[in-house]
Structure 1
Amino acid sequence: MKKSLGLMLFPGFQIVDLAAVTVFEVANAMPGGPYYDMHMLSEHGGAVMSSAGVPVVTQRFDAPAFDTIMVAGSMDLIRSTPGFLDFLREASLASRRTASICTGAFCLAEAGLLDGLRVTTHWALARELQRLYPKAKVEEDRIFIQSDNVWSSAGMTACIDLALALVEADHGAELARAVARKMVVYHRRTGGQSQFSALLELEPKSDRIQTALTYAKRNLRKPLSVDELADAAHLSRRQFSRAFRLETGQSPAKAVETLRVEAARNMIEEGNHAIDVVAREVGFDDPERMRRAFIRAYGVPPQAIKRAARSVA
């Protein structure tokens, strides 16, 4: 039996959120499908303009009962209308689960649906969500979260991870993996995975430093001396060390540690690997060295990250 999903849109919604719909569309084309019946909803029906200027045809709010009701997000915070909030409250009560994408979490909070629940949103607005709605338990560095019957995701492409997680919850991991392969994306990131990327945070300005960082990320099990990285960048040791610090604000050794910590965290969150195995795979000499690096980066040891990942799995 197909499950009905209603995606609530509003003028100015972020069009990338429709990528979540593609996950369900692809799932429908898999053997055994169709699995989902999608409905684009809005307060007044008809064409609703996205923030990109592309209109999407919707149906007017009507019967509130869906298997899943979802709320899209927006580039900027948009105050919900009373009619939008009334339907969201009714639909949340009548539906099996409620979900938000990006700043859609603000709509859920405004409707009073997040009191006492864990929630995430785009990292840039997470603290504002917590400030405005102190009864919600905002976790700003999460890809998605399930708390009771409410699911929420970070911004932009995190809607794909959320939708894949919903498919997995409904129909199992194999279907979710098949959908991810069809969409040419990695299988969904775990909910506890960080919203941040070490390579993005370092922001190298030149191709040569970017090449060295990419080389390091692909060869974390190696010692990765400054000489080795300089060779990868086709620079002398002196030129490389100077350019690296100017472009990233870090020493090569510190940047490599950052990459190793991120890779270790991903392994811990996405699998059931022993801590000493993780340390070896990402190039730390021993688990104690990795523990100290985790505390410097996250304020907690790897074991705490592992426990947190298990709690949201």
Structure 2
Amino acid sequence: MTSAISRTFYRFVGGNTTIPVVLGLRNIYILPTSYGMLYLTVLGAMLIGSINYNNNLGFLLTFLLGSLGLTAMMHTYSMLYGLRLVSATAMPVFAGESADVDLRVADVEQPRTGLYWYFKAADRIRADLRPKQPARVMVRARTGHRGLFDPGWLRIASDYPLGLFRAWARIDTGLHCLVYPRPISAATPEGTTVSAHRNGDIGQTAGVEDFVGLSAYQPGDSPGRIHWQAYSRGRGLHTKTFAGQAGEGLMLDIDDIKGDDTERKLSILCFHILQAYHQRRSYGMRLAGQTFPAANGRVHRDRCLWALALYGNG
């Protein structure tokens, strides 16, 4: 609630700051840095000394350095002025991971150097923009609990070229990223029923007969299925999949998991969903009065994980 009020107030006093947005006079701010304050203090002392001693060379040097500082301030401000952000998107992640927010920036007319992008100072990155080229900037935002994650204000800042002034803008991306429960490895819950029916959006099932190919690694994958040769070649983690005769599917139920910790139960369900998906095994789920019929495939997996992420949040 407090965040929403602060954003409304900021839009009122600072103009439109919601993507898509063009940075301009009403939403760019600039102040001297600590070095800039020292620089201005020295200039003031030089001016006072030049007046007291009526030193023309002192006046010349003071005004020369003052004009240098003023030019640097204009260049710092121009790094942000006219910048147009088109969109911001983020893929779902698991709790505790960093969400990669994909920012799309329209073509720029001049080089933009020394731009820092961040939601929190700890995740600050530098990304320069080149003229006549559409740009994409990936900014990380650290997630906490499952649910809909609001990364907060996006900040774009620059102190280029001399570090005497810092210009910045705060932007409301309007983005909410879906955060799944963090998978916790556990044995199959007691009471889990076996489903003899199967439907889904893939045509192959998993067995141990014929090698099909590689798929991207997901938390919960068996270490024995990881393709370590691909990892050693710098291609990242991938999981081997096989085609053959699949076994019967599972019907997972949150009530079959012992304990009172709801978050732990959701994490265990998340683990078994991912494991069944990568084994190409049919599975279903019962959750808070909802029943997801046994199936497999990416669409079914995403539907189940979506239900886990928003469980108890309406």
Same-fold status (TM-score > 0.5):
no
Higher relative contact order (CA 8 A, sep 6+): 2
Q: Which of the two has greater helix per residue?
A: 1
Q: Which structure's CA Rg is the greater one?
A: 2
Give the TM-score range, shorter chain: under 0.3
TM-score scaled by length of structure 2: 0.23
TM-score norm. by structure 1 comes to 0.23
